[in-house]
């Protein structure tokens, strides 16, 4: 069997690392992309000690304009990319009027432009081969507006909508797209959300990244379009369909305020 290759963004920690581990355990060669060079090197060392697959590292700031083209220029020398995991992301807490625009712009570039452009560049070859899988990391946040994290919630909604749309376009091509929509997960994500509040005050329904990654990985292998880990999260994702949106918005704000209070 020919060796397959997976490209994972945000691979130095959290869900990205866990997904990379599952892929290399299944025999994939890896292209790991992250801004954290030291952690990437640690991951490569760990993987090289346990597995025989090739591990390539790309140290990139995925929030920068046209970074997807830069990444593609480096990986197109490889025979093919069989799996693309668009995982990298971060959040920002605060009222829209007061949050830092540079940070928000970086987040939007990362979640929306880089994810979309990298998919655009890698997808045509998958279609030509009639084989390939794309896993986009969205969030439970994608299903409703999110006061105090307005652009994060909106960008995750974009990822979900984008993934669903192209998954439909790709039916019958041999290529599948899966949007993984986890709820709160115990990763380094919280450290990037707020300088003042590095941990959730609400620990209920906090998921393990190992479990979330495995759920998303299995959903991707099956070609599922939307993957929501956890029965409670599935219920939460459907609630906005049954109650007024302004009520959903108020509930989310109350949760955010409680979660970040000092």
| 76: CB partners within 8 A, 6+ apart | none
**Please, are residues 202 and 159 in contact by the beta-carbon 8 Å criterion?**
no
Catalytic residue among 17, 28, 152, 217: 152
Distance CA(49)–CA(149), nearest Å, equals 40
28 is catalytic: no
Taking alpha carbons only, the member of 189, 157, 180 closest to residue 85 is 180
d(CA 153, CA 158): 9
Cα(26)–Cα(114) distance, integer angstroms: 27
Give the torsion sign (CA, 189, 216, 153, 252): negative
Catalytic center residues: 152
């Amino acid at each position: 069997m020919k060796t397959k290759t997976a490209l994972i963004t945000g691979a130095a920690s959290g869900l990205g690392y866990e997904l990379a581990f599952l892929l290399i355990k299944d025999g994939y060669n890896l292209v790991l992309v992250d801004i954290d060079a030291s952690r990437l090197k640690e991951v490569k060392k760990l993987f090289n000690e346990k597995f025989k697959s090739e591990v390539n590292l790309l140290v990139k700031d995925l929030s920068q304009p046209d970074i997807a083209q830069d990444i593609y220029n480096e990986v197109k020398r490889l025979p093919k990319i069989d799996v693309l995991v668009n995982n990298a992301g971060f959040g920002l807490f605060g009222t829209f009027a007061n949050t830092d625009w540079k940070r928000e712009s970086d987040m939007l570039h990362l979640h929306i432009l880089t994810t979309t452009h990298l998919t655009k560049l890698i997808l045509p070859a998958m279609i030509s081969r009639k084989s390939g899988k794309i896993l986009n990391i969205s969030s439970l946040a994608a299903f409703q507006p999110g006061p105090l994290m307005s652009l994060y919630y909106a960008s995750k909604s974009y990822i979900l909508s984008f993934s669903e749309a192209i998954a439909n376009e790709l039916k019958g091509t041999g290529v599948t797209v899966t949007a993984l929509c986890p709820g709160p997960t115990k990763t380094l994500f919280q450290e990037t959300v707020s300088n003042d509040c590095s941990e959730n005050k609400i620990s209920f329904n906090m998921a393990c990244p190992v479990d979330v990654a495995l759920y998303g990985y299995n959903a991707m292998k099956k070609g599922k379009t939307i993957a929501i880990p956890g029965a409670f999260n599935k219920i939460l994702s459907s609630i906005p369909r049954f109650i007024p949106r302004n009520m959903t918005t108020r509930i989310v704000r109350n949760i955010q305020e409680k979660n970040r209070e000092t």
